[in-house]
Chains A and B, each alone.
Chain A
């Protein structure tokens, strides 16, 4: 009797989690994929016209807003990648120079504790052309500076990138410090004995040793960029025009403004595709690391 209970009790305990996964994740994803083939507008319409099942996708690929969103996704990804570089530089410096480590870590990481809405509100105020940073610098006599990024379509994305970097650099710094700490301390003394210069030591030895930390950071960054919605909403609300649309914004916009469920679903499925594209390397990386750990 007891033996049987040890088998059944865990299964019962797992039922809620399995149910949530099956309904809220697997079932819902399939539901959305199904909807993307239908002509649903405001309410779901479950009839599929098989002669033109791909009409939502065809429309999507012709939509200028969607291609803007994809381009902005790439721009945001590449721009935010600076946060990884910046995070690594900060981590390397903090790790070498132990003085003030706790203080610097605390300061660089605090933006992460704050909501992206707050970050967006704060940076939008700083970039305010008539009363913000630009006005102050103009008063100081630096008439040539132009920080009115948010009002222009071709620079608004940079403002979002700037705020994202401010927000997330500390996070990558924390991951990098953990990575640096796991490096064998003998390497430092060995390098000193061999007379290897510091820049060469970092470029030729430390960075290659930390390639998995970098890869993890890059994947996490990409996944974060795909989800980026709050910061866009708070800083530009997609504007000016459609110039700062990203896929996450596009889906919400199609759902709540255009009230076009089928179209939003198609865009959401594309988002899922992009997520999977980024996600596969992560799965492979984890599998590889687990394999290595077991081999040891």
Chain B
């Protein structure tokens, strides 16, 4: 019986594969070409801003003033990149984007540790342990996940001020963790709830301890979801502007705030090559992650969007 099943399945698989091959061998017909041409044109439209920003950042200002936005640079120069990183002015300080870059990194690390630990433990407790009010709490989290920051902004400022972290790196990280908690908890909970009941029962019989099960059984199973959440949270925190500008102090603002100040409050003549280099520098970290582990990125944003 099992033997038969296997052969049948194998035969089915071969048929499917053959069909696929037939379909592929059919080659390019008119419709396929039209679709591919359309998709390629859309892809070009999506790439144009990146191309323009990149080439502009490599030009000199004289060349930019000629108004040939699509032309390649005549003289390639990294001068604008160097200036954006080291010397560009943001507000009254002129130390370049590197200040904001390191602030962003320093915000990122504690906010990742805080938010992921909290969301993981909460998700685990809600999914696998009997808590009477779990349903109500999950619904509440679901509501909180969509609350815009503006609605709780002033209370959060007042609370962080009382805690003494307003305007510090830690303050920004804490607010990030608070804002991310509902969505991340829901993601973890949805992942953990599919763990078979038997595993949990056996584990409870075996040791019974909440934390021991978490460390010995649940953590080793969480590799994939951890990467997804990590990437989701890294891009969220890195790309955030509002939390950084509201809760960051004078010299603890993240890179995006630094960039926005640099671009809008530029004194004298605008230097577009520096602006574009600064924009690219800010965009590079999330883009590198995206091009390296895009699959997890997509999983993260769709999970965050639908479950959140």
A residues in contact (CB < 8 Å) with B: 2, 5-7, 9-11, 13-14, 16-18, 20-21, 23-29, 31-32, 35, 44, 90, 93-94, 96-97, 99-100, 103-119, 121-123, 125-126, 128, 130-133, 135-136, 138-139, 166, 170-171, 174-175, 178, 216, 220, 223, 226-227, 229-230, 233-234, 237, 247-248, 251-252, 255, 261, 264-265, 268-269, 271-272, 275, 279, 283, 286
Bound: A154/B290 CA distance, A: 36
Q: Which residues of B contact A237 (CB under 8 A)?
A: 264
Q: Are B259 and A96 in contact (CB under 8 A)?
A: no
Q: Are B260 and A233 in contact (CB under 8 A)?
A: yes
Q: Are A17 and B239 in contact (CB under 8 A)?
A: no
Q: Which residues of B contact A114 (CB under 8 A)?
A: 239, 283, 286-287
Task: List residues of B (185-233) whose CB comes within 8 Å of A's CBs.
Answer: 185, 204, 208-211
Set B49, B129, B240: member contacting A122, Cβ < 8 A? B49
Set A5, A115, A170: member contacting B256, Cβ < 8 A? A115
Q: Which residues of B contact A247 (CB under 8 A)?
A: 150
Q: Are A139 and B68 in contact (CB under 8 A)?
A: yes
Please, what's the 1-or-0 string for B99-136, where 1 marks a CB less than 8 Å from any CB in chain A?
00000000000000000001101101110011100000
Q: Are B32 and A97 in contact (CB under 8 A)?
A: yes
Binds A, one of B6-14, B164-172, B299-307: B299-307
From residue A256, how far is it (CB to closest CB) to chain B in Å?
8
Bound: A121/B289 CA distance, A: 21
Chain A residue with the shortest CB-CB distance to B49 = A122
Q: Are A20 and B67 in contact (CB under 8 A)?
A: no
The answer to whether A28 and B46 touch (CB under 8 A), given A11-B131, A17-B185, A21-B140, is: no
Set B35, B238, B275: member contacting A96, Cβ < 8 A? B35
Q: Which residues of B contact A6 (CB under 8 A)?
A: 129, 204, 208, 210
Set B129, B148, B238: member contacting A115, Cβ < 8 A? B238
Task: List residues of B (277-294) whose CB comes within 8 Å of A's CBs.
Answer: 278-280, 282-283, 286-287, 289-291, 294
Chain A residue with the shortest CB-CB distance to B71 = A136
Q: List 25 A-B contacts (CB under 8 A).
A: A5-B208, A6-B208, A7-B130, A10-B210, A13-B122, A17-B118, A20-B181, A24-B178, A25-B144, A26-B140, A28-B159, A29-B152, A32-B152, A104-B39, A106-B291, A108-B46, A110-B291, A111-B46, A111-B49, A121-B275, A170-B46, A265-B154, A268-B151, A275-B146, A275-B151
Q: How many A-B residue pairs have CB under 8 A?
A: 256
Bound: A51/B147 CA distance, A: 30
Q: Are A118 and B39 in contact (CB under 8 A)?
A: no
Q: Are A178 and B131 in contact (CB under 8 A)?
A: no
From residue B183, how far is it (CB to closest CB) to chain A in Å?
12
Taking the complex as formed, is B69 at the interface, i.e. its CB lies under 8 A from any CB of chain A? Answer: yes
B residues in contact (CB < 8 Å) with A: 32, 35-36, 38-39, 42-43, 45-50, 52-53, 56, 64-65, 67-70, 118-119, 121-122, 124-126, 129-131, 137, 140-144, 146-156, 158-159, 178, 181-182, 185, 204, 208-211, 235, 238-242, 256, 259-260, 263-264, 272, 275-276, 278-280, 282-283, 286-287, 289-291, 294, 297-298, 301-302, 305-306
From residue B150, how far is it (CB to closest CB) to chain A in Å?
4
Main secondary structure of the interface of A (DSSP, over half): helix
Q: Are B290 and A113 in contact (CB under 8 A)?
A: yes
Q: Which residues of A contact B235 (CB under 8 A)?
A: 113
Q: Which residues of B contact A252 (CB under 8 A)?
A: 150, 153, 242
Q: Are B151 and A272 in contact (CB under 8 A)?
A: yes
Q: Which residues of A contact B210 (CB under 8 A)?
A: 5-6, 9-10, 13
Q: Are B275 and A125 in contact (CB under 8 A)?
A: yes
Q: Which residues of B contact A135 (CB under 8 A)?
A: 67, 69
Q: Are A93 and B35 in contact (CB under 8 A)?
A: yes
From residue B285, how far is it (CB to closest CB) to chain A in Å?
9
From residue A71, how far is it (CB to closest CB) to chain B in Å?
19
Q: Which residues of A contact B242 (CB under 8 A)?
A: 229-230, 252
Bound: A7/B286 CA distance, A: 42
From residue B132, how far is it (CB to closest CB) to chain A in Å?
10
- For A24, A32, A106, the residue with the greatest tally of chain B CB atoms inside 10 Å of its CB is A24
Q: Which residues of B contact A128 (CB under 8 A)?
A: 272
From residue B139, how far is it (CB to closest CB) to chain A in Å?
8
Q: Which residues of B contact A94 (CB under 8 A)?
A: 39
Chain B residue with the shortest CB-CB distance to A226 = B148
Q: Are B46 and A110 in contact (CB under 8 A)?
A: yes
Set A109, A125, A233, A265: member contacting B276, Cβ < 8 A? A125
